[in-house]
Amino acid sequence: MANKTKNKEEKTEDAKSQSKPFKYAFFPGCVSRGACKELYASTTLICKHLGIELVELKRASCCGAGVINERTPILGDALNARNFAMAEELQLPVMTHCSTCQGVMSKSNKKFKENPEFLAQINEKIANENIQQKESPYQQASGEKKNNKKNIDENNAVSSMQENIQNAETIINNDGFHGNSHDGLKYKGTAVVKHLLWILIADYGLENLQKKVVRPLAGLKVAPFYGCYLLRPEETLGFESADNPTSLDKLIRALGAEPVDYEGKTKCCGFPITMMNRNASLKMAGKQTLDAKDNGADCMVTPCPLCHLNLDSMQPDTERIIEKRLGMPILHLPQLIGLALGFSPEELKMGTHIVATDSVIAKIMEKKVAAVNTVQ
């Protein structure tokens, strides 16, 4: 009888957990709508499957990626304030799937929350925003191309970032984007910004995620690449230790794979200095990738699309600079999750990577040749 009561209580708790609403204002960022469209596709796919409702902030601007803030700090903060204000209108926390966006937005938000006078100054910049307008100049400028095959080089990545800066300035300065709202936008300082990884760990719960796994990634050795912006500065991000993070490692285990421990997992991928010193940038990427490879990794997984650009898209150039063969598949976080949830590589757009992911797919599929590729 005691066991029956316990089982009933456990089922009740499970039901409560599953009935909890998971709804977020989705900030996709620039890169997932341009150079890494596979990230956008895989994120929306797994969230729908997990019952995580995403209300996309379609008129959101670039967060600044740290670049705008270096050039015009007040502009970078104003752009983030307008994005936060849109999320406040929805009364939803903000979800991003980009570590760089998480870091930049968290930094701006910390300033707003700690300095009401500064927030008032920023609100003056966005006061005339037309909240009824359906599409922003940024959204128009970042419309998807018809090309489904990812083909990006260093010059394209840099040009895209520079274009985003110009688009961001247009959002603030374009007269056609102002003046038609009764109240305009005002950020009250209540927004909460959460990375997809944090949501799965703290909100959704790894136990619940594990219950959804239908294709355990047993035998796959995955090197977690945390990078910079999701960890540092620790007093701004505050989710976990910057020196000894565990979130990605725990998620990898929940999916049935084996996390690979290596020194480079919390180092920089090199992307932030790409425009200043390309060779140094790629040497940094090569060092972290080679470290993962030397420690037996079958692949690396990153929660940041900018890291993905430097680790995957630039890997052929990195190999030439460090004069070593890498051949390391780099997966986006939701792609790794999607594989464990039973989605096919095609659905997760894994064929768009520069470094082929065939070895990863073969390793997790070898014992399940007849497995269903698509989750209905």
Distances (CA, A) of 135 to 6, 47, 59, 141, 176: 53, 24, 6, 10, 12
Q: Do domains 17-193 and 213-365 have the same CATH topology?
A: no
DSSP β-ladder status, 330-332 and 299-302: parallel
CATH architecture designation of domain 213-365: 3-Layer(aba) Sandwich (3.40)
pLDDT at 174: 35
Q: Residue range 279-306: average pLDDT? A: 98
Which of 54-68, 239-253, 289-303, 334-348 bottoms out in mean pLDDT, i.e. has the lowest? 54-68
Greater pLDDT, 160 or 21: 21
What are the phi and psi torsion angles at 229 (to 5°)?
-65, -20
Ranges 177-186, 227-236, 257-266, 305-314: which has the least confidence: 177-186
What's residue 162's pLDDT? Answer: 53
**Is pLDDT larger for residue 278 or for residue 14?**
278
127-151 per-position pLDDT tens digit = 987 654 444 433 444 444 334 444 4
Token pair listed for 154: 């260093």
17-193 belongs to which CATH class?
A: mainly alpha
Mean pLDDT for 175-198 is 73
pLDDT band at residue 368 under the 50/70/90 scheme: low
End-to-end CA, the chain: 38
pLDDT tens, 324-354? 999 999 999 999 999 999 999 999 999 999 9
Instruction: Please tell me which residue, 267 or 376, carries the higher pLDDT value.
Output: 267
Average pLDDT rounded to a whole number, residues 166-188: 51
- Enumerate the domain spans of the chain: 17-193, 213-365
What percentage of the chain exceeds 70 in pLDDT? 78
> Listing from the earlier edge strand, what are the strands of the sheet with 94-96?
52-56, 22-27, 94-96, 193-195
| Region 111-121 average pLDDT | 97
Q: Which of 158-162, 225-229, 272-276 has the lowest mean pLDDT?
A: 158-162
Q: What would the mean pLDDT of 100-109 be, rounded to a whole number?
A: 97
